[in-house]
Amino acid sequence: MDMKQLYSKAASKLKRSEIGELKSRAAGKPDILSLAEGVPAAELFPTEEIAKAAYKIISEDGARILQYGDCRGDKGLRTHIAHIMEKYAIHVQPDQVQITSGSMQSLDLCARLFLEEGDTVLVEDPTFIDAMNILAFAGGTIEGVPLDEEGMDLAVLEEKLRTNPRIKLIYIIPDYQNPTGLTWSQARRKAFMELVAQYNVVVLEDNPYGELTYGEAYQQAVKSYDTKDQVIFMGSLSKTFSPGIRIGWLAGEQSVIDALELVKEHCDLHSSIPDHSIAATYMNIYSYDDHVKYMCGVYKKRRDAFVEALHTYLPDFTFTVPKGGFFLWLRMPAGVDCMKFFDACLEEQVTCVPGTPFYTNKDNHEFMRLNFTGLNEEDLVRAVQRMAKAYAQLV
């Protein structure tokens, strides 16, 4: 029997991520240096402290936390998350926070709640490819709005909002964006909300990188300018605490969070209560803020070493130094195609991600996304040296 004949129309559209396809080509290669993975440095995980927190909560309260739990998530963890959001000038109560199994589920829940087949979703162009895939799978028609050095192009956004009544959602990553590393200016955030407030649309503000700031103050969130409860804020502990402990969250107006809780209940009842309890217990015993500060110090040194190496070994390439986050957006010299450069880098035992898949129309071949958090400073320099050899082969 061919089960594929019974797949839903939506499932028949599923395909592997283009980034996953590209990264699979590097699998098994010896001595590969990866600038492709958007991952935190595993050696920075507070493993001993997490182990102690896990032992404490399971030994003292295991019967409760191993049972079914609150669909909205552990109250203690939601209290800590409300504190984290104060950094972005967002003031919410714990009941306005819905815990999810990472940001991907946060997106999925919002898509299920709001989207119908044919609704339009506006995204930054370029943007996070997996977000486009989730929103499209739910029936959304994805349209891009270009970015400039301050954020989303508001002239293009206004034209789309004015002429397309089926726009339902706007998905944005204002802080240290994936893939560009761009940070929206405060003026652009304020102007964006003043424009959006004129229309009946929902804004999904995704902020997985906001705490990873390198010498800068925390950015005031787009949601902090929200006067009509249009913005749903999405956060994550994957980049600052552990991606294996699947904790993301949604925060917004109470009735919307109540509705999202109902959607989640119909998906999986609740996320992992032991994970919630471990994270909350860690934050009760240790200073989460000090841990994040330590990570920022390490990552800033890696960024600086990476930037210096790029200036030294690839002077023909251009980029803006990211103020935080995981990624640097490298522009190719004239005449160099990012896909061909990817192939050449692979031959030199270094991987990066071509920028093309991050665009809605897939026709831009000028950029590469580079991650600088997953390798130490010495390996970052070695990786750039290998990239320089690859570039020399092309030219």
pTM: 0.95
Q: What does the block give as tokens for 354?
A: 């071509």
Domain with 164, as residue range(s), is 47-285
Q: Around Cβ 351, how many Cβ atoms within 10 Å?
A: 24
For 283, residues 6+ apart whose C-beta sits below 8 A from its C-beta are: 77, 80
Per-residue pLDDT of the chain (395 residues; tens, 9 = 90+): 778 778 887 777 666 776 777 667 766 677 899 999 899 999 999 999 999 999 999 999 999 999 999 999 999 999 999 999 999 999 999 999 999 999 999 999 999 999 999 999 999 999 999 999 999 999 999 999 999 999 999 999 999 999 999 999 999 999 999 999 999 999 999 999 999 999 999 999 999 999 999 987 899 999 999 999 999 999 999 999 999 999 999 999 999 999 999 999 999 999 999 999 999 999 999 999 999 999 999 999 999 999 999 999 999 999 999 999 999 999 999 999 999 999 999 999 999 999 999 999 988 999 999 999 999 999 999 999 999 999 999 88
Q: What does the block give as tokens for 104?
A: 């991907």
Specify whether 378 is located in the same domain as 341: yes
Specify whether 103 is located in the same domain as 153: yes
Specify whether 123 is located in the same domain as 236: yes
Cβ atoms of 256 and 232 within 8 Å: the answer is yes
Q: Give the start-end residues of each E strand in 217-261.
A: 231-236, 248-251
- How many residues appear in the chain? 395
Specify whether 63 is located in the same domain as 157: yes
Domains of the chain: total: 2
The CA distance from 387 to 392, in Å, is 9
The CA distance from 90 to 94, in Å, is 12
The answer as to whether 77 is a domain residue is: yes
Specify whether 271 is located in the same domain as 353: no
The CA distance from 48 to 53, in Å, is 9
Q: What does the block give as tokens for 255?
A: 């009735």
Cβ atoms of 246 and 272 within 8 Å: the answer is yes
Specify whether 260 is located in the same domain as 295: no
Specify whether 163 is located in the same domain as 214: yes
Measured CA angle at 126 (ends 201, 241), to 5 deg:
85
The answer as to whether 7 is a domain residue is: no
Q: How far is CA 323 from CA 203, 319, 375, in A?
A: 24, 12, 18
Specify whether 32 is located in the same domain as 175: no
The answer as to whether 3 is a domain residue is: no
Burial of 71 (0-12, 13-18, 19+ CB in 10 A): middle
The CA distance from 386 to 346, in Å, is 9
Task: State which of 285, 303, 333 marks the end of a domain.
Answer: 285
